[in-house]
Amino acid sequence: MSNKPNHVLALYNKVTKYPFGNKIFSIMVSRMAPYFATVKPLVTELKVNRCACLIKKRKAVHNHIKTVHVIAICNGLEMAMGVMAEASIPKHLRWIPKGMTVDYTAKAGSDILCVAEVTPEQWQVGDLLVPVNAYDTDANVVVRGTIKLWISEKPQK
């Protein structure tokens, strides 16, 4: 495998050298997949096989009890997974999501950090189960889940 970062990781590494770079990169991702912008996620960490993004607790993402709505958290988890996948997948493979399962493990009463992480060995043709977790500011897991990806070979050009 090449040591050269792929396009997404190279862009992240370039943009985050500047002031507000994480915010700029997050806006760029949200422009490619506009639905993510609904929760205003901030990519705080991106490296091969790991991505973390922050969702600020604010009125627009509250539920009826003024905690962060689980669907907003799921949106953040999917963004973390998608950015991680784009930055990590070997060049000869492609991915598409097939499903998501989540358990609500605690009230989400603070900002939420959404994390997706895999190991290099997991990038193989077939189903890839990506563990995703959402943490409150005290590092308690508020949502634990799995996003199932279908990994396949890119067609020959």
pLDDT tens digits, the chain, 157 residues: what are they?
A: 455 668 899 999 999 999 999 999 999 998 888 888 889 999 999 999 999 999 999 999 999 999 999 999 999 999 999 999 999 999 999 999 999 999 999 999 999 999 999 999 999 999 999 999 999 999 999 999 999 999 999 998 7
Residue 60: burial class (beta carbons within 10 Å; 0-12, 13-18, 19+): exposed
Give domain status of residue 2, yes or no.
no
Q: How many angstroms separate the Cα of 24 from the Cα of each of 19, 33, 111, 112, 140?
A: 9, 14, 20, 19, 28
CATH code (residue 38): 3.10.129.10
Contacts of 82 (CB under 8 A, 6+ apart): 33, 97
pLDDT of residue 1: 45
Q: How crowded is residue 156: how many other Cβ atoms within 10 Å of its Cβ? A: 5
What is the total count of domains within the chain? 1
Look at residue 115 and give its three-state secondary structure: strand
36 phi/psi in degrees, rounded to 5: -60, -30
Give domain status of residue 120, yes or no.
yes
Give domain status of residue 145, yes or no.
yes
Give domain status of residue 83, yes or no.
yes
pLDDT of residue 90: 94
33 in Cβ contact with 101 (< 8 Å): no
Structural domain boundaries, residue 85: 7-153
Which residue's structure tokens are 């495998």? 1
Q: How crowded is residue 54: how many other Cβ atoms within 10 Å of its Cβ? A: 21
Residue 19: burial class (beta carbons within 10 Å; 0-12, 13-18, 19+): exposed
Give domain status of residue 1, yes or no.
no
Q: How many angstroms separate the Cα of 79 from the Cα of each of 22, 26, 37, 57, 111?
A: 14, 10, 10, 17, 16
pTM for this structure?
Answer: 0.92
pLDDT of residue 156: 83
